Chain A
Amino acid sequence: MNENRDKDFERHHTLLIVDDDEINGDILSSFFEAEFNIMRAFNGKDALDLLKQNNDVIDLVLLDIFMPVMDGFEVLKARQKDSDLRKVPFVIMTSEREIEKECLVIGANDFIKKPYDNPEIIIARVKRMIELYEDRSIIKEVKKDKLTDLYSLEFFKKFAHQFDILEENSPKDILSINIAKFHLVNELYGHHYGDIVLINIATYLKSYITKVTKGIACRMDADEFVVYCLHHDDYSEFIKGIIKAINNPGIHVHVGIYPNVDKDLDKDIAIGRVISVQQSIKEDLNKVSALYDEKAQNKAFFEEELINCFDEAIEKKQFHVFYQPKYSIQGERNVLSSAEALIRWIHPKHGMISPGIFIPLFEENGLIQKLDNYVFNEVARQQAEWFKKYHFYLPISVNVSRVDIYNPDLEKEIIEAVDKYNIPHDKYYIEITESAFSENIQEVIDLTVSLKNKGFLIEIDDFGSGYSSLSALTELTFDVVKIDGSFIRKIDRNEKNKDIVKMILDLCKRLKVLSVAEGVENEEYYHFLKDNGCDIIQGYYFSKPLPVDDFNKLIEKELDYER
């Protein structure tokens, strides 16, 4: 801090030399006049008057003790009571050891022995004292916010650490308080009024953390306050207190609450989270507070990470297509007839990520289009591989997201993928979930008709789970109905459920479409479905979705049967 200080030190520093003896004052002045501005006073009263008038200018006072009118002791005592005077260091000039001691007690900062023996040492001591006080002033200014007298953020964090130690076993919360559109408050009511609002909030916070709870508070930003305090379940009274302190129904406040903060969590992160949750409601003047939900936030962070990883995952083929076999069950034996392509994400850090997590996420932000296209190509490529290896095309069902229905290039992408690997169109089944039909009936009709005309097979997936009307069914073009697994799993509950499934199976017969039952898990379901004419079964009864290598074994087993 002191590096290169001397070069700059002499600029703009002022000493006040207080000595009734002109000669002593002249000699002392001669030490400093090359490097300082000098003011003189010849008694204590004149010295105090000069200090009051020039408080911001005088950097140090050299004070004699024995003086007429008001002596040095009285000056020091007056200084003790005045916070402005205490900002200026006082160096006493005396030959008396006992006086040194007495002066220390009443606040003197240093001494210069009389008679003056070494000007260089005296000059150096004065300079160092001024530097020391300047550094302290800077620290004090940084420590507290001038307007509100709350801690600055840096000291808040330091004291937060101490608070954690003091209240080690007590759960704590972080609160953030923000005035909505504060710049408008200043414009409408004036900056002075805006300052009053801030001071009133700060006063309330100080009262809250001392009388209602224990904690610390800071003014983090122009209109942003942060409180770290012992945990409370309910902050409604706190919020009422803030609103009362503002005392203006036209001024709104938003409060973020982060309960039970982990004391080991970096305070910057904790503050960032509570501010984030507070900002989530900043446009809503009807909402006053928002609660940070750690689980929800972790989920949000995880999802953001997945989105950020997506392109790399595509490039590095972290998405793997698994295949769940479908078996035709109406023959003498169950025959592997096709398979459904199901995407899995083998993440290098998180391992296997369920499509239940990333599919809805990518549907929300549009990445699903790229993912579907990836699957279209990957499936067609695999079918080509199997053809090469086993000399037949196994029909594969690919799922088209209900969001992807809106993709104007969807048909083109499917055809490009299939034709790229020379897959016959009738071996490539397009699964469209029933909810897509009910949401976008015309788009689906147009798409399915067009694809059907080009030789693709259309499957209605999750049949029964949506709200499609019977009349819609008459307009749609489809080849297969996949009965939603939720119906299958209720077969054993009561007759009504069984009847519904029977009805769907019968409907399929009448419409001359194939029926596929999803989610068949046990023999009871299998037999029921077989007995009631279900054509194809897919489910854990036969197999879970398999990676290619394992699925190959199923194919080989099937081929062995056929031989």
Chain B
Amino acid sequence: MSVKELYESFGGDYNRAVQTMMNDAFISRMLTKFIEKNSYEDIIISYQNKDMKGIFEASHSLKGVCGNLSLTLLYEKASVLCDKVRNLNEGETVNVDAEVNELKESYEKILTLIKSFLNK
């Protein structure tokens, strides 16, 4: 599987990825860092703590990374969650169960595909 095929498999934008990161080798290195970093974990921890601000910061961060890596589907899921918890007042909470689950599902899928690619 090529990097291009990998991106196609999880709804990523390979053309944009190459424009930003120039070559497959660099893209692969960044994807390696992505799975090592596990940005999603911060979202889960904040979600479990009902920490809206934490959810916002973590989802915002994930959104940024996914955007730069052109992981389009994951980027969109992270954006939805981020927008939902943006500008909440102190102590205010919203139900983000659906958004978190969708994000989790997408993240785990992408993670599996990237790991599989990198292990080859």
Contact = CB atoms under 8 A, between A and B. Distances in A.
A176 B110 CA distance: 77
A163 to B, nearest CB: 52
B80 to A, nearest CB: 14
Interface residues of B, number: 23
Given A23-B37, A30-B26, A66 B20 contact: no
Contacts of B29: 26
A318 interface: no
Interface in A388-404: none
B33 A115 contact: no
B22 to A, nearest CB: 7
Nearest to B62: A21
A115 B68 contact: yes
Interface string A12-56: 000000001111101100100000000000000000000000000
Contacts of B33: 22-23, 26
Contact of B21 (A20, A30, A95): A30
A234 interface: no
A31 to B, nearest CB: 9
B102 interface: no
A95 B65 CA distance: 11
Q: Is the interface of A mostly helix, strand, loop or mixed?
A: loop
B117 interface: no
B50 interface: no
A330 B70 CA distance: 126
A27 B60 contact: no
A71 to B, nearest CB: 10
Given A66-B57, A66-B60, A21 B65 contact: yes
B94 to A, nearest CB: 19
Interface stretch (A3-11, A116-124, A147-155, A419-427): A116-124
B14 to A, nearest CB: 15
A114 interface: yes
B63 A117 contact: no
Interface in B8-55: 16, 19-22, 26, 29-30, 33-34, 37
A495 B62 CA distance: 121
Among B20, B26, B30, B66, residue most surrounded by chain A Cβ atoms (within 10 Å): B20
Interface of A: 20-24, 26-27, 30, 66, 95, 114-119
13 contacts: A21-B64, A21-B65, A22-B37, A23-B33, A23-B69, A66-B57, A66-B61, A95-B67, A114-B64, A115-B68, A115-B75, A119-B19, A119-B20
